[in-house]
């Protein structure tokens, strides 16, 4: 299949906009939107039967065939190498992380371990849970911008103390877009008796996943970023030994009836994002997951190299630590504050119609590039030209 701008026909994106921000909230392909709409149409023909019998099995005599929710969970489980009994849908990674952390029984003085690259919302959940129990959060500094995966695993291991209970670790970080050495970190946590919750928000559709093989305790992730599912489709995988006393943030009829029963019904809601998630996985499969992975990674990496050369900046990460996103330093004269980042991001969007993530940190501005099969190098060339125009107007 020929990837590049011609692939835009598969998405409803505004063709006038250069979209370099696939990772932020995902972009739903047209055929997945159509599948979701068909599910909604079917639901509205017999809403009560659809929701209470077919999707959840809450009403009626027990049935032999799996519910629609379980059938969809089965497709997701296959995609991540897991058993469907260990996989439940949640709205998003944030919800999955809330479920795990807010189910913990921590005591005063216990510790949660995070890194300074955790997604802001995740770090806030950890802080909230810690303060509720009189526990504390220990934040490990990631060796960065010169990222060193082995150094990170060492730093995490060294930060583990006698009261460390759970580590909350990204698979792919948000702003810095780094692929963490998860299996190695999990090995070291396990050896020290520390449970590990993974924030895999960006991983499905970017990395081939065998979640049970990672040696972690819980894995919360999104299907609506890179796996082409409708928003809001996330999942939570839990090791069988970690499922008792694990509750969704919203308690409903399934309380104390097991992991799947608790999460499969959290009140009346639209289940169409979850039921249409397998269509997103089929789309990815038909595009060719391996080809998509290679195209997106190569494009993001080549684009980052081209942009650094144009900006006169240096990338201090290895190609092996990049997925479909790469974060690179912007020219110094563009500033260093959150306000400078907001100004540039707004200017790119409103003046140049380029949607891209810009942030401030480590004394400068950065941009995080997302590459998807509808992008090609010409998109990143446009970004280079626009950024250089602003840099020329703000001589350092």
Ligand X SMILES: Cc1ncc(COP(=O)(O)O)c(C=O)c1O
Q: Counting contacts by CB under 6 A, is residue 54 touching ligand X?
A: no
Could you tell me which stretch among 158-166, 194-202, 210-218, 359-367 binds ligand X (CB under 6 A)?
194-202
Query: Contact with ligand X (CB under 6 A): which of 18, 122, 296, 372?
Result: 122
Structure tokens at 35: 């599948």
Footprint (CB under 6 A) of ligand X, residues 73-92? 92
> What 3-state DSSP class applies to 226?
coil
Pick between residue 168 and residue 260 the one whose CB is nearest to ligand X.
168
Least spacing, CB of residue 101 vs ligand X, in Å: 13
End-to-end CA distance of the chain: 44
What character string, x for contact with ligand X (CB under 6 A) and - otherwise, covers 6-25?
Answer: ------------------x-
Q: Counting contacts by CB under 6 A, is residue 357 touching ligand X?
A: no
Structure tokens at 392: 């020329």
Q: Counting contacts by CB under 6 A, is residue 199 touching ligand X?
A: yes
Least spacing, CB of residue 122 vs ligand X, in Å: 6
Q: Counting contacts by CB under 6 A, is residue 201 touching ligand X?
A: yes
Query: Contact with ligand X (CB under 6 A): which of 35, 93, 123, 260?
Result: 93
Q: Counting contacts by CB under 6 A, is residue 355 touching ligand X?
A: no
Query: Contact with ligand X (CB under 6 A): which of 19, 50, 119, 366?
Result: 119
Buried/exposed code over 342-374 (b: 16+ C-beta within 10 A; e: otherwise): ebbbebbbeebebbbbbbbbeebbbbbbbbbbb
Residue 333 is given by DSSP the state G
Which value, in Å, is the radius of gyration of the alpha carbons in the chain? 22
d(CA 65, CA 54): 10
What character string, x for contact with ligand X (CB under 6 A) and - otherwise, covers 204-243?
Answer: ------------------x---------------------
Query: Contact with ligand X (CB under 6 A): which of 21, 36, 56, 94?
Result: 94
Q: How many residues bind ligand X (CB under 6 A)?
A: 14
Pick between residue 43 and residue 326 the one whose CB is nearest to ligand X.
326
Contact 388, 18 (CB under 8 A): no
Pick between residue 139 and residue 306 the one whose CB is nearest to ligand X.
139
Per-residue CA distances from 91 to 79, 141, 165, 201, 261 (Å): 18, 30, 26, 12, 16
Q: Which run of H or E residues covers position 218? A: strand 218-222
Footprint (CB under 6 A) of ligand X, residues 244-283? none
Q: Counting contacts by CB under 6 A, is residue 99 touching ligand X?
A: no
Q: Counting contacts by CB under 6 A, is residue 174 touching ligand X?
A: yes
Q: Which residues, other chains included, contact 231 with Cβ-Cβ below 8 Å and sequence gap of 6+?
A: 25, 26, 28, 92, 224, 273
Least spacing, CB of residue 200 vs ligand X, in Å: 8
Structure tokens at 197: 């919750």
Could you tell me which stretch among 99-107, 183-191, 195-203, 278-286 binds ligand X (CB under 6 A)?
195-203
d(CA 266, CA 69): 12
d(CA 245, CA 242): 8
Residue 48 is given by DSSP the state H
Q: Which residues bind ligand X (CB under 6 A)?
A: 24, 92-94, 119, 121-122, 170, 173-174, 199, 201-202, 222
């Amino acid at each position: 299949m020929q990837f590049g701008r011609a692939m835009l026909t598969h998405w409803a994106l505004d063709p006038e906009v250069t979209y370099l921000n696939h990772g932020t909230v995902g972009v739903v392909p047209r055929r997945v939107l159509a599948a979701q709409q068909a599910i909604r149409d079917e639901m509205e023909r017999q809403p009560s039967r659809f929701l209470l019998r077919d999707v959840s099995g809450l009403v009626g005599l027990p049935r032999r065939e799996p519910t629609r929710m379980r059938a969809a969970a089965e497709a997701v489980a296959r995609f991540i190498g897991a058993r469907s009994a260990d996989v439940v849908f949640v709205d998003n990674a944030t919800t999955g992380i809330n479920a795990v952390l807010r189910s913990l029984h921590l005591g005063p003085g216990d510790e949660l371990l995070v890194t300074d690259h955790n997604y802001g919302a995740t770090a806030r959940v950890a802080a909230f849970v810690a303060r509720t129990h009189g526990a504390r959060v220990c934040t490990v500094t990631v060796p960065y911008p010169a990222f060193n995966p082995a150094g990170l695993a060492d730093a995490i291991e060294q930060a583990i103390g006698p009261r460390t209970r759970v580590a909350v670790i990204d698979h792919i970080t948000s702003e810095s877009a780094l692929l963490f050495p998860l299996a190695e970190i999990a090995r070291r946590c396990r050896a020290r008796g520390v449970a590990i919750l993974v924030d895999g928000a960006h991983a499905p559709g970017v990395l081939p996943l065998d979640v049970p093989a990672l040696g972690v305790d819980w894995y919360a992730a999104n299907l609506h970023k890179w796996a082409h599912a409708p928003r809001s489709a996330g999942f939570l995988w839990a090791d069988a030994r970690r499922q008792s006393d694990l509750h969704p943030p919203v308690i409903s009829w399934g309380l104390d009836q097991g992991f799947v029963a608790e999460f499969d019904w959290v009140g009346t809601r639209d289940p169409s994002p979850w039921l249409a998630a397998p269509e997103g996985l089929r789309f990815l499969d038909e595009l060719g997951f391996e080809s998509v992975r290679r195209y997106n990674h190569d494009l993001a990496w080549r684009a980052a190299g081209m942009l650094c050369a144009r900006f006169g900046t240096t990338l201090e990460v290895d190609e092996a630590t990049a997925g479909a996103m790469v974060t690179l330093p912007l020219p110094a004269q563009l500033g260093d504050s959150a306000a400078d980042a907001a100004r540039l991001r707004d200017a790119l969007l409103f003046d140049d119609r380029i949607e891209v993530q810009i942030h401030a940190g480590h004394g400068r501005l950065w941009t995080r590039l997302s590459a998807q099969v509808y992008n090609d190098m010409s998109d990143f060339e446009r970004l280079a030209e626009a950024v250089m125009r602003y840099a020329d107007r703000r001589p350092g």
